[in-house]
Structure 1
Amino acid sequence: MASHALDSNGHDTAVVVAHEIYGVNEHISGVAKMLRPYRCDVFTPSFLPSGVVYAREHESKAYREFTRTMCVTGMGSALAQYAEGLRERYRRVLGIGFSVGATSTWLASGTGAMDGAVCFYGSRIRDHLDIQPAAPCLVIFAEQEPSFSVPAIAERLAGRKGVVTEVHPCRHGFCDPGSPHYSAVHSRQAWTSATRFLGLSR
């Protein structure tokens, strides 16, 4: 598994950023840089073979290869194992995931591997509503998902112990500056919610 971290500064908190089907692309690297001012060490492991990165125009190929070589449950297991491996070095291990990375983070959070998690528009969370996160989990949805009713899923998660939901009037990918659905306003709002939820401070 390809992996790298930003320079360690002796922090006691690790944040693992879980990628989308494209791999550790500019968006994921950008998230890691955004976390740099906070008191944490950031890790961006690639769960794709040889750490491959796909361009957005190759979405169909990226999706096909992801389902063939990894799939979301496989990535969730690998992510949980990766997070557990950080336990020896850090007091807190947190997860932030996007799209399939968000669903994988949701799955990993159910294993107790993380002390807190934020899942950005993990649409396949709807297939894993039996999961009960072992630590606080913030699920941030894009309201305009074509394949399912976001309000219905958010309602099913409402009241779940340790789970908080937030729905933004946007489309999938609204936090990714490279996405056609990017919303600077809602991305900023979601990011503020995420860092506060995880207790990250500058």
Structure 2
Amino acid sequence: MNKNINLTAEDGHKFTAYLAEPENPKAGLVIIQEIFGITEHLKSVAREFAELGYKTIVPSLFDRLEPGIVLDYANVEKGVELMSKSKQQDMLIDIKSAMEAVKVDGKIAVLGYCMGGTLAYVSANELSPTCAVSYYGTAITDHLSKQPSCPMLFHFGEVDPYVCQQDIELIRAANPQQPIYVYAEANHGFSCVDRASYHQKSAELAFTRTVDFLSKNLA
């Protein structure tokens, strides 16, 4: 079952989310958006994870500013503007509500891309998910004073202009027990088939590793 739903955060904020739900879910999964909103690609990813047995939700984290906004991938400037105007604590409150909405038998993972990759890291520190996955989080180095309280998996592109190798090494040093993968020739956004930076080999390998990681930690 795939549909748009409405959620209410603990501070009373009402926002939308996309839900992909299998008949007999084995665990919950929150997918945290990039700066472009709930894109068709993220919906397709949610459906893919639902087919694997995860009750998957994608909350609309810009609804506090512009409800329902979805941007073209070329409109980076507007996405960055919305991200800069959003309060991290508000987004965490909304992620927490999404986690509660899809948690299954206490098992819940968060997985994020770009902005969402950073929020996945912060969520792993603040919201106590069962496990977390970050794809090319661009500002994780701003949060290394705290480490995840759960198992966490990281994916980065080797030629990502927004996450340099020095940043990756800082993240690795701060999280020595967590698996970090760097994909040769992969750029920022390498996992999104709708972007010019899509890198099929890296995307498929990262997805396989993510599925294995979730299976292990949400068993």
* TM exceeding 0.5: yes
Deviations 1:49-74 (A, max 9, x none): 21211111221112112211x15554
1:26-175 paired onto structure 2 within 5 Å: 26-49=40-63, 50-68=67-85, 70-72=86-88, 74-84=90-100, 86-87=102-103, 89-154=104-169, 156-158=171-173, 160=175, 162-169=177-184, 170-175=186-191
Q: 5+ unaligned residues in a row in structure 1: which ranges?
A: none
Q: Which moved more, 1:168-177 or 1:52-61?
A: 52-61
Q: Do 2:141 and 2:167's aligned partners in 1 also have CA atoms closer than 8 Å?
A: no
> What's the TM-score, normalizing by structure 1?
0.88
Q: Do 1:77 and 1:107's aligned partners in 2 also have CA atoms closer than 8 Å?
A: no
Q: Kindly state the Cα deviation for residue 6 of structure 1 after the two structures are TM-superposed.
A: 1.4
Q: Structure 1 stretches (4+) deviating beyond 3 angstroms? A: 71-74, 84-87
CA distance in 2 between counterparts of 1:164 and 1:74 reads 29
Task: State the match for 2:213 in structure 1.
Answer: 197
CA distance in 2 between counterparts of 1:130 and 1:63 reads 24
Q: Do 1:11 and 1:39's aligned partners in 2 also have CA atoms closer than 8 Å?
A: yes
Q: Count the aligned residue pairs.
A: 199
The one-letter code of the counterpart of 1:114 is P
Q: Does 1:183 align with 2:204?
A: no
> What's the TM-score, normalizing by structure 2?
0.81
Q: Do 1:80 and 1:109's aligned partners in 2 also have CA atoms closer than 8 Å?
A: no
Query: Identity, % of aligned pairs?
Result: 22
Deviations 1:128-171 (A, max 9, x none): 11121111000111121324532553354247365221111211
Q: 5+ unaligned residues in a row in structure 2: which ranges?
A: 1-14
CA distance in 2 between counterparts of 1:185 and 1:3 reads 30
CA distance in 2 between counterparts of 1:38 and 1:80 reads 23
Q: Kindly state the Cα deviation for residue 30 of structure 1 after the two structures are TM-superposed.
A: 1.7
CA distance in 2 between counterparts of 1:62 and 1:29 reads 18
